[in-house]
């Protein structure tokens, strides 16, 4: 029995080692491409004016990248899509509370889909003169947008998927912001539109390129 417990402990410790090594490798890869002029952080709906765990992780990840000097600026992207709160503006309020200087925060409020987060965010970044651009989000969304980036941009768009160990200690922090100032009046949810139109948006077919 003791031998079995020893084997289990060894396997657990080995797993922790490889997990840590993997996270370190990812962070080293990110550090190798810095400095990034600006990162685009896609939004998510706020419910009752409060951020979800996933949205919180995206904002905390952006703060980590900013604090570590991996990026100098952050662009929060998202319109009021499924709930009345404008996602980009709301995220910016949270980011400011975390300590990101307002002078280094940009906001896009046109995007209603992930592809639009990237496209419109890119346009805003370019208008401000930024050159190196990255998307900072959860791993799933980063993977989902890579093909769109390759097909729609001649230059390299970097992707910085969240390393969850780097933000774990801050996930318990609570912030209170006045989201009444980011709530859109006369809001109409994206759900009221037909399925085909929403699907087109997801595929980037509704982007206004002019």
User: Model's pTM, two decimal places?
Assistant: 0.82
Residue partners of 172: CB distance under 8 A and separation at least 6: none
Query: Quick one: CA torsion of 130, 34, 100, 166, rounded to 10 degrees?
Result: 150
What does the pLDDT profile of the chain (210 residues) look like in tens digits?
A: 444 334 334 333 443 433 455 667 777 888 888 889 999 999 999 999 999 999 999 999 999 999 999 999 999 999 999 999 999 999 999 999 999 999 999 999 999 999 999 999 999 999 999 999 999 999 999 999 999 999 999 999 999 999 999 999 999 988 888 888 999 888 777 666 554 554 444 545 446 665
| CA distances in angstroms from 162 to 12, 27, 41, 58, 134, listed in the order given | 24, 10, 11, 7, 12
Closest CA to 136 of 51, 25, 58: 58
* Phi, psi torsion values for 72, nearest 5 degrees: -95, -20
Domain 32-202 has CATH 2.40.30.160: no
| 3-state class percentages of the chain: helix first, strand second, coil last, to nearest 5 | 50, 15, 30
How many C-beta neighbours within 10 Å does residue 193 have? Answer: 13
Query: Domain ranges in the chain?
Result: 32-202
pLDDT at 194: 52
């Amino acid at each position: 029995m003791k031998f079995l417990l020893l084997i289990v402990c060894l396997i657990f410790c080995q797993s922790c080692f490889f997990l840590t090594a993997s996270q370190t490798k990812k962070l080293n890869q990110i550090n190798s491409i810095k400095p990034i002029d600006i990162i685009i952080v896609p939004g998510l709906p706020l419910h009752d004016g409060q951020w979800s765990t996933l949205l919180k992780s995206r904002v905390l990840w952006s703060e980590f990248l900013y604090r570590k000097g991996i990026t100098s600026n952050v662009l929060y992207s998202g319109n009021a899509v499924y709930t009345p709160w404008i996602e980009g503006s709301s995220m910016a309020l949270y980011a400011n509370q975390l300590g990101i200087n307002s002078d280094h925060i940009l906001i896009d409020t046109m995007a209603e889909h992930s592809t639009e987060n990237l496209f419109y965010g890119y346009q805003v970044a370019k208008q401000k003169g930024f050159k190196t651009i990255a998307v900072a989000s959860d791993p799933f969304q980063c993977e989902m947008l890579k093909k769109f980036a390759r097909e729609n941009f001649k230059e390299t768009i970097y992707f910085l998927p969240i390393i969850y160990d780097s933000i774990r200690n801050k996930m318990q922090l609570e912030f209170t912001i006045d989201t009444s100032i980011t709530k859109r009046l006369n809001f109409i949810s994206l759900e009221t539109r037909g399925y085909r139109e929403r699907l087109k948006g997801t595929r980037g077919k509704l982007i206004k390129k002019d």
